[in-house]
Amino acid sequence: MALKKTFSKDKAICKVKFTVSAEAAQGANTINIAGDFNSWSSVDTPLKKAKDGSFSVTLELPVDKEFQFRYLLDGTRWENDWAADKYIPAPYSNADNSVVVTSKK
């Protein structure tokens, strides 16, 4: 898994590419990302599957913010991003949420 960040010239937007490797996808047919940026919708933000079996999506997020998120594989299994900037305990379960930080540090 990986998070790749690029910043707009005016530094107001951070484009974050969320990638789930083929290994991490564990044979999944679909992966969606749910988080603070999409009201934790498990269906609004699907990742696109590549020929190599990896999945990815690029989101434009405001800078200097932190967003919690998780991946939903095949609509049944929640996974964190192995390369998240940090992890925060989830308020409604005994799991952690991944966090992406959109600041240039």
105 class by beta-carbon count within 10 Å (0-12 exposed, 13-18 middle, 19+ buried): exposed
- The whole-angstrom separation of Cα 86 and Cα 99 is 5
pTM across the whole model: 0.92
pLDDT digits (tens, 9 = 90+) for 41-61: 999 999 999 999 999 999 999
Question: Which of 24-33, 61-70, 88-97 shows the lowest mean pLDDT across its residues?
Answer: 88-97
Which three-class secondary structure state does DSSP give residue 61?
strand
